Amino acid sequence: MNKRNGYRSLYLPAWTIVAAVIILLAVIAVSTYRNMSRETGRMEDSLLREGLVIVRAIEAGVRADDSLKSPDAGHLQKLIEEVAREPEVASIAIFDERGKVVAANRLPLPDGEPIREAASLRLLLKEKGVITRYRPNQNGEAEAFEIILPFRPYNYDIPSRFSDSGSEVEKEPLRRWAGDKMITLGLKLASFETARQQDRHHTLLMAAILLVLGTGALFFIFVVQNYYLVHRTLGRMRTYMENVVESMADGLVSVDREGRIVTLNRQAGDILGAGPAFLSGKKIKEILGEQIGNLLLTTDEQPLVRVREIEFSGKQGGKIPLSVSVAPLKGDDGQEMGAVLLIRDLREIRALQEKVARGERLASLGRLAAGMAHEIRNPLSSIRGFAQYFAKRFSGQAEEQGYALVMVKEVDRLNRVITDLLDFARPKEPRREVCLLESIAEQALNLLDQDLKSRKVVVTKHYEADLPTVLADRDQITQVFLNLLLNAMESMPEGGEIRIGMSRVDAPLGAEILIADRGEGIPEEDLNKVFDPFFSRKRKGTGLGLAIVHQIVTGHGGEIGVESRPGEGTRFRFRLPSDRSLKNGEKKRA
């Protein structure tokens, strides 16, 4: 890890140089832009001041002639031409609000053609007082900085320059003549453009220097990257292989030539009940048994991959069926370095096998039971009829009549058993409707209310809020609740507590129902048989109640399981799919 960090540190100077070059380029660009903007502002201020001085000089020249009459056109033209000889002046023109040029050193338009934008310029001048703009040449570049303002060749201490009030003061000839006059002054930008061009050259020079430094840094990065490429590729391959091994559904363990554990993945740690910190260095046969140690011994007659199924004692007790595959691990020189063990948990496979076998047994038993039930039911009807006949015949003879009545009761009990057997052998197709599990549970509790009170059994309920609705046969699910509650009551002959819990679970199963008691419990060896037909430890039980419960729940697409310990009570959990998940499943199948 330290070596890898050392390789990575080689990148830091190069990337630092690149980052510095980029930052410096950005700083220079921003600084240049700001400097040019600032210089442009200063230039415009300077040109504006210079232009105002020139305009005031022209106004003073006109005012000096004679302020009581309109200026002479020839004299005004001469004055404009004299001022325009200044090297910084590009153009001067005086025009009225109709665009007619009064005097100019060079006409901006052909002779006699008015300035079309004069009216809009006059409106802007009323609002701003002065207009500045750049006048482009034929190439689109700025040729001159143009200043436009009202031409007022009289004293400025009189208010309302653009006033149209018609006062006596404003009726002077010069003021009336200048009332609608404007002057435009264009100043050359050659000196400023020279300074700006020098700034551009300096910026380009700095950028070129930084570009050379950046190119050198990139070349250094290329050299370092080639040097580091092999190590990085191997690191990625190692990480990928580690992720693949850790994501395996089966456990993977590698051992050395002495059978000691070198590495193992997460699934192997879960199966063996410990992590690498505890198992590393231990011999595998001490954990899985001597039979695994025998698999590690290789001979020429043995196949390359050897497989064996074993029973492993889990950390939490109980036996875990495992399938262990062993293959030799060899080095580049062909010498054996150890072995690789692939450990597969067979509990789910065994459970599926048991479900398939149970289904086959139940199917055969159902067919047999249906045939036998029909054959037995007919003689039972005759026997019951004769028993009732003898009960009436021996009326008044207590002993004989009692025997006959016992016969009737036993025939009725046998008939109930046969009815349950037929229900189990030929289950009814569920008549599904949207149901609330809480209401079904309450209905079952209402039916058993008297029995619960007489047996001194207290029911506590824990219903989660917003439980999903289920699409189920209400009568059949009620029978499930009744059978489970009756079993719970019969396991507590002295009274006790029954807990009913309901909670939401993830799709596709929508709700889980828990029915728990504090009764005698079920022995561990009988837990796998409680749902088998005719299995019962009750003296008067038929062994069909829980079998029918299992059949109804699975027929609704649900699951049911049992947890119990002798003396600690029993917990039945069954899950039913929500009506939404069932509808989605039907759409997918369609």
Give the DSSP letter string of 105-133: SS-SSSTT---TTHHHHHHHHHHHS-EEE
The pLDDT, as a whole number, for residue 161 is: 41
pLDDT exceeds 70 at position 170: no
b (16+ CB within 10 A) / e for 315-346: eeeeebebebebeeeeeeeeeebbbbbbbbbe
Asked if residues 527 and 562 have their Cβ atoms less than 8 Å apart, the reply is yes
The pLDDT, as a whole number, for residue 265 is: 81
553 CB-contact burial (10 Å; exposed 0-12 / middle 13-18 / buried 19+): buried
Mean pLDDT of 208-222: 72
Asked if residues 365 and 533 have their Cβ atoms less than 8 Å apart, the reply is yes
Which of 258-267, 289-298, 489-498 has the weakest average pLDDT?
Answer: 289-298
Asked if residues 568 and 521 have their Cβ atoms less than 8 Å apart, the reply is yes
The pLDDT, as a whole number, for residue 7 is: 45
The CA angle 126-132-133, to the nearest 5 degrees, is: 125
Joined together, the tokens standing for residue 196 give: 């700006």
pLDDT exceeds 60 at position 236: yes
Mean pLDDT of 324-353: 78
The pLDDT, as a whole number, for residue 14 is: 54
The pLDDT, as a whole number, for residue 514 is: 93
Asked if residues 252 and 46 have their Cβ atoms less than 8 Å apart, the reply is no
Bond before 87 cis per omega within 30 degrees: no
Asked if residues 96 and 180 have their Cβ atoms less than 8 Å apart, the reply is yes
The pLDDT, as a whole number, for residue 169 is: 47
pLDDT higher for 211 or 87? 87
Mean pLDDT of 130-139: 77
pLDDT exceeds 70 at position 387: yes
CA distance 195 to 493: 109
Q: Which of 358, 377, 355, 378 is nearest to 366 (CA)?
A: 358
Which of 159-163, 169-173, 464-468 has the weakest average pLDDT?
Answer: 159-163
Mean pLDDT of 370-387: 68
Q: Each residue of 531-548: pLDDT tens digit? A: 877 677 666 666 677 888
pLDDT exceeds 70 at position 430: yes
Instruction: Look at residue 102 and give its three-state secondary structure.
Output: strand
206 CB-contact burial (10 Å; exposed 0-12 / middle 13-18 / buried 19+): middle
To which H or E segment does residue 255 belong?
strand 251-256
The pLDDT, as a whole number, for residue 515 is: 92
To which H or E segment does residue 470 belong?
strand 470-472
Mean pLDDT of 29-44: 78
Mean pLDDT of 116-137: 84
Asked if residues 145 and 109 have their Cβ atoms less than 8 Å apart, the reply is no
Which of 110-114, 199-203, 284-288 has the weakest average pLDDT?
Answer: 110-114
The pLDDT, as a whole number, for residue 462 is: 92
Which of 20-34, 176-190, 201-215, 297-311 has the weakest average pLDDT?
Answer: 297-311
Which amino acid appears at position 519 of this protein?
G
pLDDT band at 299 (very low <50, low <70, confident <90, very high): low
CB-CB neighbours of 457 under 10 Å: 20
Alpha-carbon torsion angle 235, 240, 246, 251, nearest 10: -100
Tell me the pLDDT of the chain averaged across its residues. 76
Which of 407-411, 474-478, 512-516 has the weakest average pLDDT?
Answer: 407-411
Residue 40, CA atoms < 13 Å, CB-side half-sphere: 12
Which of 311-315, 342-346, 477-481 has the weakest average pLDDT?
Answer: 311-315
pLDDT exceeds 50 at position 55: yes
pTM above 0.75, yes or no: no
CA distance 372 to 413: 16
- The residues facing 34 across adjacent strands are none
The pLDDT, as a whole number, for residue 365 is: 62
The pLDDT, as a whole number, for residue 590 is: 40
Which of 19-23, 176-180, 243-247, 443-447 has the weakest average pLDDT?
Answer: 19-23
The answer to whether the 251-345 and 433-589 domains have the same CATH topology is no
For residue 329, the 8-state DSSP code is: E
The pLDDT, as a whole number, for residue 494 is: 86
Residue 65, CA atoms < 13 Å, CB-side half-sphere: 18
pLDDT higher for 68 or 216? 216
Q: What is the 3 state secondary structure string of 258-305?
A: CCEEEEECHHHHHHHCCCHHHHCCCEHHHHHCHHHHHHHCCCCCCCCC
The CA angle 298-301-304, to the nearest 5 degrees, is: 60
The pLDDT, as a whole number, for residue 584 is: 53
The pLDDT, as a whole number, for residue 502 is: 92
The pLDDT, as a whole number, for residue 572 is: 92
| Cβ-based neighbours of 6, under 8 Å, separated by 6 or more | none
The pLDDT, as a whole number, for residue 241 is: 78
Mean pLDDT of 32-46: 79
The pLDDT, as a whole number, for residue 23 is: 78
Q: Which position has the token pair 């002046």?
A: 89
C-alpha Rg value of the chain to the nearest Å: 53
Specify which of 165-179, 374-388, 414-428, 509-523 reaches the highest per-range mean pLDDT. 509-523
Name the CATH architecture for the domain at 433-589: 2-Layer Sandwich (3.30)
To which H or E segment does residue 321 belong?
strand 319-330
The pLDDT, as a whole number, for residue 163 is: 44
Asked if residues 504 and 468 have their Cβ atoms less than 8 Å apart, the reply is yes
Which of 30-44, 236-250, 296-310, 569-583 has the weakest average pLDDT?
Answer: 296-310
pLDDT higher for 409 or 370? 409
- The residues facing 253 across adjacent strands are 264, 341
Q: Which position has the token pair 């003061």?
A: 169
Give percent above pLDDT 70 in the chain.
Answer: 74
The CATH class of the 251-345 domain is: alpha beta
Q: Where are the domains of the chain?
A: 13-196, 251-345, 351-425, 433-589
Joined together, the tokens standing for residue 168 give: 């006596």
Mean pLDDT of 161-179: 59
- Choose which CATH entry (2.40.30.10, 2.60.300.12, 3.30.450.20, 3.40.50.300) describes domain 13-196: 3.30.450.20
